[in-house]
Structure 1
Amino acid sequence: MKQRTNIIPKFAAAILTVGIVTGLFIGLNSANASPSASISFANFGSIKDWKAESSRSMVITTTSGDKYRATFLNNCHSLPFSDTVGFVTSPGGSFDKFGAVLVRDQKCTIRSLERIG
């Protein structure tokens, strides 16, 4: 007579192992990630200057001399050739990773904003 084995405990152990490994991986990555930056009072003139690095990123300088790199979700094709941009801020007036940059007729959504100096 054949003996039946119950695969449920083995399956549960495999799922638990995958969950633990995934949790450790996420925890290690978030510990090494730099916190998201924010430029306060951007709608009141705290942004002094900006420079396009490419169609995918720009460097923003504040009136206090801090520098930030904004990286976009999409290509901001007109950015390298534009003299003016508009900054879309939060309702509180800060510019962060939830903002956007308006360049000519294109809205360039921010993917990340990090302080670089």
Structure 2
Amino acid sequence: MRYLILIVWLVVVGTAIGWLGLAAAEDDARRVEPADAPELSIPFANRGGIRDWVAVDDSTLLVQDNFRKWYKLRLVAPTRHLLHAEGIGFVTGPSGTLDNTGALAVRGHKYPIASVTASEGPKRQRR
């Protein structure tokens, strides 16, 4: 009898954990960007083409160019230094454009960029 209660308890707990995992996966699926988002590049990033930037999380950076367009940069791997960085360097190719072949330099380390897509910019906070 004790084993039957243990088995039923394990099934109930396993089902609850499974439902929680599915709910979390569904939330993550909603946050994923569409696969058909076009890859963009930021011209003249090496010559003052970046106006402003805002770190969203440890692998996402919002960048504004001189024409006040916002871009979302996704890094290949997260970095714990991005949210607390006071300065960021942009590593571009010889043409000076920042695209998915470039990298971010944060505290002396380079982090490759996975994608550059259009963004609406950071959400404004009321003061």
Taking structure 1 as the reference length, the TM-score comes to 0.70
The separation in 2 between residues aligned to 1:81 and 1:68, in whole angstroms, is 20
Which residue, out of 102, 106, 110, partners 2:109? 106
Partner of 1:91: 94
Q: Is the 8 A contact 1:43 1:93 kept in 2?
A: yes
Q: Which structure 2 segments of 5+ residues have no match?
A: 1-34, 121-127
Greater than 4 Å deviation, 4+ residue runs: none
The separation in 1 between residues aligned to 2:119 and 2:52, in whole angstroms, is 15
SS at match of 2:71: strand
SS at match of 1:115: strand
RMSD: 1.1
Taking structure 2 as the reference length, the TM-score comes to 0.65
Paired residues in the alignment total 86
> What amino acid maps onto 1:42 in structure 2?
A
**Deviation, structure 1 residue 58:** 0.4
Matches within 5 A, 1:1-117: 33-117=36-120
CA deviation vs aligned residue, 1:21-57 (integer Å, no higher than 9, x gap): xxxxxxxxxxx61221000011111100111001110
Q: Which structure 1 segments of 5+ residues have no match?
A: 1-31
The separation in 2 between residues aligned to 1:90 and 1:65, in whole angstroms, is 22
